[in-house]
Structure 1
Amino acid sequence: MEHMEEQPQLIEACLQKWDINWLLHRAAQRVGSAFADEIVKFGISLRGQLVLQALATEEAQRTQLKLGAMLGLDKTTLTSELDKLERAELVMRVPDPNDRRVRTPVITDKGRALQKEAGDALAEVERAFHSRFSPEEMTIIRKALQDLSRGEGPMHGSCI
């Protein structure tokens, strides 16, 4: 029990001591965990929701290659995620009439409905985090994170 009482003090000490990379990583873990706990209720992953959201909001259809580039997902990760979504009948992959090797992922009506419901639930999770800050602070946080995300140099790994 004594160990449990010390933990908040240790966490606070770390929050004061560590660099921005550690703080960003811990904040991303906290937010990511909350999102993952919510999205599991819908039978998909955060990556799955990201793919469905992109397919639901894009007017122009995108090939798998273009979709992966847009989302920051490598070919293997995207293919695996599309396979899962296709098995669940949330997306289908349509062959390109001009090139049989190219397939365009298309969201189904079932996928669109699930994406909307899951998106609304995730928006509630995000609002809970936003409530810790004033609107002005959220504007600053969002701008800072956007600026850091743009950065220079190579990006490693998938976006989620």
Structure 2
Amino acid sequence: MEEQQPIPACMEKWDINWLLHRAAQRVGAAFADETAKFGVSPRGQLVLQALANDEGQRTQLKLGAMLGLDKTTLMSELDKLERAGLILRVPDPKDRRVRTPMITDKGRELQKQAGDALAEVERAFRDRFTREEMAVIRRALINLADGEAPVHGSCL
């Protein structure tokens, strides 16, 4: 198969929106490829990570808000994770409309393995830069992500 050559006009783009989007595409694709090896999506891994690291119980609504996932996206992901036996949704004894997702032992093990693999993927991207450059990149991204403007849609 012949390798596709980059389109020169795309290589000349310089605006920050395009650059951030392109960088996010590359990192996101690498993460998606890695999580697929474990049978989950990057969103699924994000949900499992939140559930594995959360000391207290969190309702579906609170989990979605914490992760920046809209209700439809979160419910779809929780359905997939539940079918795979990676989470359970436990009804609240005080309000039957409320469900609390809980990670299963199988989910915890998969999350750990996938998390370790993703750490290696991220390390490969970070290794392209010096420690000082990464500190600047991190500060700049945090600064750009933190703002007054409303954020629409899911974070992933």
Compared with structure 1, are the counterparts of its residues 140 and 100 closer, same or farther at alpha carbon in structure 2 (3 Å cutoff)?
Answer: same
**Any unmatched runs of 5+ in structure 1?**
none
Compared with structure 1, are the counterparts of its residues 6 and 66 closer, same or farther at alpha carbon in structure 2 (3 Å cutoff)?
Answer: closer
1:118 aligns with: 114
1 or 2, which has the higher helix percentage? 1
1:136 to partner: Cα distance: 1.1
Within 5 A, what are the aligned runs for 1:1-150?
A: 7=5, 10=8, 13-14=11-12, 17-150=13-146
Distance 2:39 2:155 in 1: 20
Distance 2:9 2:119 in 1: 27
**Any unmatched runs of 5+ in structure 2?**
none
Distance 1:127 1:11 in 2: 30
Distance 2:44 2:148 in 1: 27
Which aligned runs of 4 or more in structure 1 are off by greater than 3 angstroms?
4-9
TM-score of the pair, normalised by structure 1? 0.91
Find the residue that maps to 2:98 and give its secondary structure: strand
| Residue identity in the other structure for 2:89 | R
TM-score of the pair, normalised by structure 2? 0.94
Distance 2:10 2:74 in 1: 38
Q: Percent identity?
A: 75
| Residue identity in the other structure for 1:64 | Q
1:18 to partner: Cα distance: 2.4
1:7 to partner: Cα distance: 3.8
1:7-34: CA deviation from partner (whole Å, max 9, x where unpaired): 45827842xx420000000000010011
Superposition RMSD in Å:
1.8
Distance 2:31 2:95 in 1: 38
Compared with structure 1, are the counterparts of its residues 150 and 42 closer, same or farther at alpha carbon in structure 2 (3 Å cutoff)?
Answer: same
Aligned residues: 155
